[in-house]
Structure 1
């Protein structure tokens, strides 16, 4: 039976949250807003237009939102993508290759729009590891609704009981659990281990190699004999 693993990108595979937050803050300050750092960081991993509108204090349909989005996307390549594979967190390429060798089909479910997600995956050199890339503009409802996760499973021909979602935010965990996926939360991204645990992550780990250990152990067993059905606060299977 098919085993699938679906990943978030920002803060899970790529060390982009800080760079993205700095860019968002610079863009909205250039348009007259003065958000706190915490307010900006809270938008990372969420749909861009809605995040920018909230920081600017306008509606998503407001012209200022469109202007901010255009400025952000115009600078994303020079400010973020130019870092290339250096954006990847330690162990990501090797870990993805180990999963593929073990028979996992791999997918992406991200709040980025398609062009931005593909550009980031290409810039970091890992696009070819994934069998599907599902983005916010490809579904009716984004995170925390299950639509992206369900679309990824359908693309991969996989079922939720044998599949996993890996992400760094409470929103990721909410989406995955709504789709009945098992979950690995990573505490090195946006949200803390405690927040991921409270959101119901099946495992919480502190680095990407630990993600791979959890997933490979699961592949060796069955959905019913995995060690621990409640979250591990600092990483299972170390």
Structure 2
């Protein structure tokens, strides 16, 4: 069975965390909040309404939170999407092309809602590289629960134990391990290499070219499987 490769977007495929954090900071300051930069950056890659509520001291379903989310999304196209393909991190376009050429189904599991995820993937020119895109508003439970990863693998006809997830945050690693996927964490995104290693990432790498080489190498039939609990590895692991 061909291995399925699943990806996060922000901080993994696209160089968006700094721009997103700046935009979130601007929005919550409009409502009187004064969070620190690290506090804002820590929200990148997490569901927007929950992040805004935490920064604003409101509830997820509060009217103020809803208004802040609407302001964020209205500015996202101008402040972020307008940069288009230049948002792609080095090696991403070439790497995805190599993976598809090798016959691997590709999917996305992201904390973005459906409209935002498709808009970003389309703006960067890589939407057509993916066979499915599963978003936070398409599952009952978001990251770090396994629902999104399991849905992607199921839709692409794969097995979790033969599939890989690539992300840049601890919650990415936690989701993938809960679903029984192997994990490649990238250290150029939101969380540090040390935090990603501590979370249990199988591999931590510094660039997307290495992600591509590693996935194509490890997807060989002898690379082993992982149990659905994220423990009990068998086969080759390095």
The interval holding the TM-score normalised by the smaller chain is over 0.9
Matches of 1:119 and 1:213, distance apart in 2? 28
Matches of 2:221 and 2:96, distance apart in 1? 19
Q: Deviations over 1:187-233 (max 9, x none)?
A: 000000000000000000000000001101112342335451xxxxx
2:23 matched to 1:23? yes
Unaligned runs of 5+ in 1: 229-238
CA contact (8 A) 1:2 1:159 kept: no
Matches of 1:148 and 1:220, distance apart in 2? 24
**Aligned pairs for 1:7-156 within 5 A:** 7-156=7-156
CA contact (8 A) 1:2 1:157 kept: no
Matches of 1:221 and 1:214, distance apart in 2? 14
Matches of 1:177 and 1:74, distance apart in 2? 34
CA RMSD of aligned residues (A): 0.8
The alignment of Structure 1 onto Structure 2 pairs a total of residues equal to: 228
**TM-score, L = length of structure 1:** 0.94
CA contact (8 A) 1:107 1:131 kept: yes
Matches of 2:194 and 2:174, distance apart in 1? 15
**TM-score, L = length of structure 2:** 0.94
Structure 1 runs, 4 residues or longer, greater than 3 Å off:
none
Aligned to 1:188: 188
CA contact (8 A) 2:6 2:166 kept: yes
